[in-house]
Amino acid sequence: MLAATLISSFFLVVILILCTSLVDEKKAEVIEKKSALVKDLVTFIITAQTGLIGTALGFYFGSKSND
């Protein structure tokens, strides 16, 4: 799930960069605002997923060493 998020985030950023370079100035400003929102959302999602995966792995390996 984390890999899918990272790959889709990468492609989303590439698409936004290409769209910004191919359109005129007025549309580029709108895309720039949306790309800032996308950047914040991607950062939030990846941070949350990393924390959850770290917790799950820590619980798994922590309980395995107690046995």
Residue 20 corresponds to which amino acid? T
CB 12 within 8 Å of CB 38: yes
Give the model's pLDDT for residue 67.
52
pLDDT at residue number 66? 55
Are the CB atoms for 20 and 30 separated by under 8 Å? no
* Domain segments of the chain as ranges: 2-62
Cα–Cα distance, 33 to 37 (Å, whole number): 7
Query: pTM, whole model, 2 decimals?
Result: 0.61
**Tally: H helices and E strands in the chain:** 2, 0
pLDDT at 62 over 60: yes
Query: From start to end of 1-67, where are the E strands?
Result: none
Say whether pLDDT at 59 is over 80. Answer: yes
3-55 tens-digit pLDDT: 888 888 888 878 877 777 777 777 777 777 777 887 888 888 888 888 999 89
Which residue type occupies 42? V
